[in-house]
Structure 1
Amino acid sequence: MSAPPIDRLAVIPSAPLLLPGATGRDVPDEVARLRDQVTTAVRWLAEGAQPLTVVIAGEPRRWEPAVLSARELGIAWTGRFGTPAAEAKPRADYPTALLVAAAYTDGLQVVCGLSTPGETVALESSSVLVVGGGSARRGEGAPGHIDPRAVPHDDETARLLSAGDGGGFAARDLTVAAELLDDLSAPMAALGGQGAPRTAQLDYYAAPYGVGYLIARWQW
């Protein structure tokens, strides 16, 4: 049975600050805006087919069962699209990107997979959520040391997302992306061969903490 073509694709950051309790009781305005944009993107994606296929960077493997819930991953959230119910410590043995995906898709059917450079992700549904971020080497407060390539790299990522240019991601140097602590380019490259989307929009692009956060929506 062939994999279904993508109908909707949403991109959200793999940022730890998206997790409940990550910023304490007082949520900074920029974090609140980012969380609102993520919620909007996932809500839009959920209007399409379910289950959602979540794609993050890493070694190729699958998590079972097919239906994940945030609570199973140790995150206390209620509501269909991630309204925090109580603070909870995320389980450290799951990638942050997966924890973010679980938190914002709570109540939805989800199948998960990881991608590695040079491999194509096997899709199981036509609604795809890519969880990954731009460079984490943009400023003094960033996890990595400052790299002058980081901002131009993220600017190009934003351009590709805005243009719906999947081929551009497939053509990127993923070694450079890894050096810049970018965990978005590899999953996007692994989704190559889908053709150009009918519409593409970049909803968010900022780097308030020295890390490039991008949110986008594509529809075929």
Structure 2
Amino acid sequence: MITRAAVVPHPPLLVPELVAGAVAETAPVRAATLAAAGKLPGPWVAVAVDGSGPATFVPPLSGTFLGFGVDVPASLGGDPPPQPRLPLPVLITAWLREHCATEVSRVELVPPDLTPADCVSFGRQLAAEDAGLLVLGDGSTRHGPRSPGSNDDRSGPFDSRVHALLAAADAGGLLDLDPELARELGAQGRAAWQVLAGVPGPWRCSGAEFFAPFGVGYHVAVWERP
């Protein structure tokens, strides 16, 4: 049974080599992400959102962040030749695995438009896993003038609500998040958070943080059984 889950973001800026000019500015989200992932028991089952989903990635598997500017290798386990174009959530899972010195069972990618009902169904399927659950997903990409998208005043309230729901381990509240609003705000993590909400509780949150460097919202939280 899954007894602990970590919610983390998966931006390239977690990898210091990819943000040589902003290592200090991105240090807080990097440190929080590594700390949360480090609390998970191994092996990990990771769930993330990607346009290539549904898809499953299992070790042995290696990749590189060369497509993001620097040839930083990362492995889910084993030492096969690196694949040139693994999805970003798979690469970040591999990078976290190496830094947390643990094992990954697999990475499950779900599509961005997965319905809340299907998220719940998938979460229930994962519930019996004897693993730590790593939930990867980013918040809104529209926080202010530095954001990748144009500013949207709804981003602040949206990510404030997500942060509050994660901090309260409020699965029902997460399932009430509007998929269309999340899509408009670029909050691709919505489906991954709702998969977590589908894993039967009870849960309590042992810590939750929110960051928004460069105008993108990043949530970090740890849920565990009371």
| TM-score normalised by structure 2 residue count | 0.79
Alignment partners' CA distance in 1, 2:163 and 2:25: 19
Alignment partners' CA distance in 2, 1:152 and 1:183: 16
Q: Given the alignment of the two structures, is residue 62 of structure 1 paired with residue 59 of structure 2, yes or no? A: no
Q: Which amino acid aligns with 2:135?
A: V
Measured against aligned partners, the alpha-carbon deviations of 1:149-185 in whole angstroms (never above 9, x if no partner) come to 1110000010011001111111211121111111222
Alignment partners' CA distance in 2, 1:216 and 1:180: 21
Question: Which 4+ residue blocks in structure 1 deviate beyond 3 angstroms?
Answer: 89-92
Measured against aligned partners, the alpha-carbon deviations of 1:109-161 in whole angstroms (never above 9, x if no partner) come to 21110223342333243310111111001121211111111110000010011
Q: Given the alignment of the two structures, is residue 195 of structure 1 paired with residue 201 of structure 2, yes or no? A: yes
Correspondences of 1:70-109 after superposition (within 5 Å)? 72-74=62-64, 88-89=71-72, 93-106=85-98, 107-109=101-103
CA-based RMSD: 2.2
Q: Which amino acid aligns with 1:73?
A: G
Q: Given the alignment of the two structures, is residue 145 of structure 1 paired with residue 150 of structure 2, yes or no? A: yes
Secondary structure of the 1:143 match is coil
Alignment partners' CA distance in 2, 1:163 and 1:183: 21
Shift of the 217–193 alpha-carbon distance from structure 1 to 2, 3 Å rule, reads closer
Q: Which amino acid aligns with 1:104?
A: L
Aligned to 2:36: 41
Which residue of 23, 29, 44 maps to 2:24? 29
Unaligned runs of 5+ in 2: 74-82
Alignment partners' CA distance in 1, 2:191 and 2:34: 23
Q: 1:56·1:130 contact (CA, 8 Å) conserved in 2?
A: yes
Alignment partners' CA distance in 2, 1:35 and 1:131: 13
Q: 1:12·1:216 contact (CA, 8 Å) conserved in 2?
A: yes
* Greater share of residues in helix: 2
Q: Given the alignment of the two structures, is residue 10 of structure 1 paired with residue 6 of structure 2, yes or no? A: yes
Unaligned runs of 5+ in 1: 77-86
Shift of the 93–175 alpha-carbon distance from structure 1 to 2, 3 Å rule, reads farther
Q: 1:165·1:196 contact (CA, 8 Å) conserved in 2?
A: no
Q: Which amino acid aligns with 1:137?
A: R
Q: How many residues align?
A: 197
Alignment partners' CA distance in 2, 1:35 and 1:153: 22
Aligned to 1:176: 181
Give 1:20 shift.
4.1
Q: 1:160·1:169 contact (CA, 8 Å) conserved in 2?
A: yes
